[in-house]
Amino acid sequence: MELRHYFSLFRKWLWLIVLGAIVAGGIAYLVNRASTPIYRSTVTLLVNQAANNSLMTDYTSVITSQQLAKTYGELIRKRPTLEAVIRNLNLNILVERLAGQITVTPVRDTTLITVSVEDPDPKRAADIANELGKVFVAQIDAMQRSRFSSSEENLSQQLQVLKDQIAATQGQLEAAKKQSPAQPDEITRLESALVQYQNSYSNLLKSYEDLRLAQTRLTDSVTIAEFAQVPIAPVRPQTFTNTLLAVVVGALLAAGVAFLIEYLDDTVKGPDDINALNLPNLGLITRLDSKNPDARLVVVSDPRAPAAEAFRALRTNIQFASVDRPLRVLLVTSAGPSEGKSTIAANLAAALAQAGKRVALVDADLRRPSQHRIFKQSNHSGLTHALIQDKGELNGALRPTAIEDLRIMVSGDLPPNPAELLGSNRVGHVLDELQKQVDVVIVDTPPCLVVTDAVALSKRADGVLLVADAGKTRRSALEQSVKTIQQVGGNVLGVVLNKYSHKAHGGYYNYQYYNSYYYAGDKSKESGGHHSPQTRLAHWVRRLTGASGNGHAASNGAKDTALVVESGASVKDRAQE
């Protein structure tokens, strides 16, 4: 698929993409504006890991530090810590809810831990974060001290006992010295006991100091590296960012839906789809103004319009479609109803008549005829009247029209059995009689997949022209129509794509080219070889609004018509004319 095709799809579904972006962005904006703002305050804790005298590798040390940080991160959010915070700050909140407001993140490759608290009140968020850090520091300190508390308590008790013994011995020694006469043996014993007690105290005190030193060296500690501050701006909702993201996501989702629709859509949308079915593409006809009856016969009402030129291109392509076998009887049908086959048949007949051909247009749609409305004639004494005559006598069923060399045979009174009537041999007699009077007979028939009328008539025609509605006719239906006609011996000349938009398929350049060529040849709209200001203004209005046409169309309102790209055959046709 070419990049140009993707661009045309983007331009076609731009409204859906814009709508998806606006809806998603609007919803995100309203939701964010209605949301309660949440503030975040963060306290940073420093974990001092105990020194280790073992020969531990650096990798193991790193893993141990990371595990310790993760362990402390989990302990912060446990119930004892949170209950202490709630009790100290007198918070009216459940432990589970407070735990949901806390986020603990160990800083990678460091011994730092960040503890973030989110709360609608910015000051309360900072107070909870700071109190959480203080409580956790105190808990870790108490936990580490408990490892040496029993040994320290025993040593303290022994030191106190020795202090008491030393004090008692010193009192006894002083009392012995004051006695008269003195007792040398008793003084010597007391002095010896005092020295022994003092030595024991010194040794025990040294053990006590060594224990405290070991406690300091072998225990972990946590300190507050940075206290939490009262936040100024909320962390969510971020209205602008979320809205912008929603706009992008909405546009992408809409684009995905559009491409999914295009992928699942099997309708015939352009010439590439017709070529994919191995069918000749004989013409591209744009959408005509269905509200204006005169606009349906565009080759007469507006012969200089791009759509009229497209019918002349179709006329030439049909002439080149069967060079070896002259096309005397041409049948026009479609796969389904309301695809524009009657309009195509009428304009093609008028274009052939304008080229000097004697043409008879037969309305063989005996169920929903429309040619009498296009040419503004009564629907009596038509084809059904001729079919009940002997040996195909027309008896005035072929009527003249306002177009020179073009005559029309309306359907006539609608019969109860149109399929049997069109499948009878009398139809062949009528067509033979028509070929004696005109050069080309164009037969407008019902849709071939709805009823069998067109299939029955196709074997009597020299060629069958299939009309497809762009964006409506399915490829499978078009392919089935070809097979159905070919099964009875019909000759399918090709396909005419009706209601085709060139601007939706990258035909803007051709639109500009034809407008410039068209106005350059219209001397009535020029002044001194240049466009008048009114003409240039109308031209730019058509460019901006996407409306096609000429001065006549501009003066009577914008018609629903776009440019049809001329084929090379149409150029040959103008050369023949």
Residue 531 C-alpha from the chain's centroid:
44
Which pLDDT score, from 0 to 100, does residue 248 have?
Answer: 96
CA distance 500 to 282: 13
**Taking the CB of residue 450, how many other CB atoms lie within 10 A of it?**
14
Nearby residues of 152 by Cβ (< 8 Å), 6 or more positions away? 208, 211, 212, 215
With a cut of 80, say whether residue 147 has pLDDT above it: no
Q: What is the pLDDT of residue 181?
A: 62
Q: Given a cut of 70, is residue 106 above it in pLDDT?
A: yes
Of 462 and 565, the structure prediction assigns the larger pLDDT to: 462
C-beta contacts of 203-209 below 8 A and 24+ residues apart:
204/155, 204/158, 204/159, 204/162, 205/159, 207/155, 208/152, 208/155, 208/156, 208/159
Q: What is the 3-state secondary structure (H, E, C) of 487-508?
A: HCCCCEEEEEEECCCCHHHCCH
Confidence of residue 110 (pLDDT cuts 50, 70, 90): confident
| pLDDT at position 223 | 87
Is 84 in a helix, a strand, or coil? helix
pTM for this predicted structure: 0.59
Section 553-562 average pLDDT: 33
Structure-token pair, residue 453: 């009328």
pLDDT higher than 90, residue 253 = yes
CATH annotation of 271-520+531-576: 3.40.50.300
pLDDT given for residue 66 in this prediction = 67
Tell me if 486 sits within 8 A of 492, measured CB to CB: yes
Give residue 164's pLDDT.
Answer: 82
Angle at 509 between CA 318 and CA 316, to 5 degrees: 10
Instruction: Identify the residue with better confidence: 250 or 142.
Output: 250
Q: For the chain, what is the mean pLDDT?
A: 79
Q: Which residue has the higher pLDDT, 202 or 444?
A: 444
Q: Which residues contact 137 (CB under 8 A, 6 or more apart)?
A: 45, 222, 223, 224
Q: How crowded is the C-beta side of 335, counted as CA atoms within 13 Å?
A: 21
Non-local CB neighbours of 472 within 8 Å, separated by 6+ positions? 267, 336, 339, 499
User: Does residue 182 or residue 260 have the better pLDDT?
Assistant: 260
545 contact partners, CB below 8 Å, separation of at least 6? 558
